[in-house]
Chains A and B, each alone.
Chain A
Amino acid sequence: MTRNKLYIFLSVACVIGFLWLSVAYFQRSSEVGESSVCLFKQLTNFPCPSCGSTRSVIALLKGDFLEVLRWNPLGLILLALLIIAPFWILVDIRWKKSTLFDFYNQSEAFLKRPWIAGSAILLVVLNWIWTIYKGI
């Protein structure tokens, strides 16, 4: 993964993310959640670890912080990424630096440590069990 590839990938991901959010935001609330794009949910009828994060992000945008927990706390991370990544990429392109790429590589090395990786996987699995229990 080179710097430019990562930046292009993240920009495309952010554009798709914002498009998806705006579509979901203007949908009537009764329709949200009925049409799932999640492959796993459609195949098995169980939610996947990140199901409900769209609804969680929209609840966050509407200022309803308890709803975030009701849907999926991972939405917090997603919204943070969606807001921070575009600005960071623009700053890096403007001043021809690669601070985001360096940060990406450092955090990858950090996450590869067995302790960190183990606890991260445990958290995701616990969140997944909670998601299934809530029946999203």
Chain B
Amino acid sequence: MEAQRVDMFIMTNGKYFKSYQLNAIRDRLIALEDSRWAMISTVQLKDPAISLVISILVGHFGVDRMIIGDVGLGIVKLLTCGGMGVWTVVDWFSIMGLTRQKNMEQIQPYLY
């Protein structure tokens, strides 16, 4: 794909991925055919800032885990009072990174 279009994509979607993954994503996108663009642009990415807000407000009930796709873990978190409160606090700090990881897993199949 054209470098300009790829750079535009990186600029608008950079916040959804971990910074060290951006270079790899850019290289893969440039190597891709133009016809794959439609697929890439329809991938639904989750905003790390939104999941942080959800985690702080209702993370105790496992909602943050369910939103990013870990439904099973979300239910375990709900059933255990947020891991007796410990898991709740741990997730406040780790949920943004987890969301970025999940976004990477989302876009991975389209890159190859």
Contacts and interface: CB of A to CB of B under 8 A. Distances in A.
Interface of A: 1, 9, 13, 17, 20, 37-40, 48-51, 53, 74, 77-78, 81, 104, 107-108, 111-112, 124
B83 to A, nearest CB: 8
A112 B66 CA distance: 9
Contact of B88 (A13, A20, A39, A108): A39
Q: Which of A38, A51, A77 has the most CB of B within 10 A?
A: A38
Interface in B64-112: 70-73, 75-76, 78-82, 84-85, 88-89
Nearest to A42: B85
Nearest to A54: B81
Given A13-B76, A48-B60, A48-B61, A37 B81 contact: yes
Contacts of A37: 81, 84-85
A74 B88 CA distance: 19
B84 A20 contact: yes
Interface residues of B, number: 17
Contacts of B76: 13
Contacts of A9: 73
B85 A111 contact: no
A9 B76 CA distance: 11
Interface in B5-35: none
B85 A39 contact: yes
Nearest to A20: B84
Contacts of B75: 111
A50 B72 contact: no
Contact of A108 (B60, B71, B78, B79): B71
Nearest to B60: A40
Contact of B79 (A40, A50, A104, A107): A50
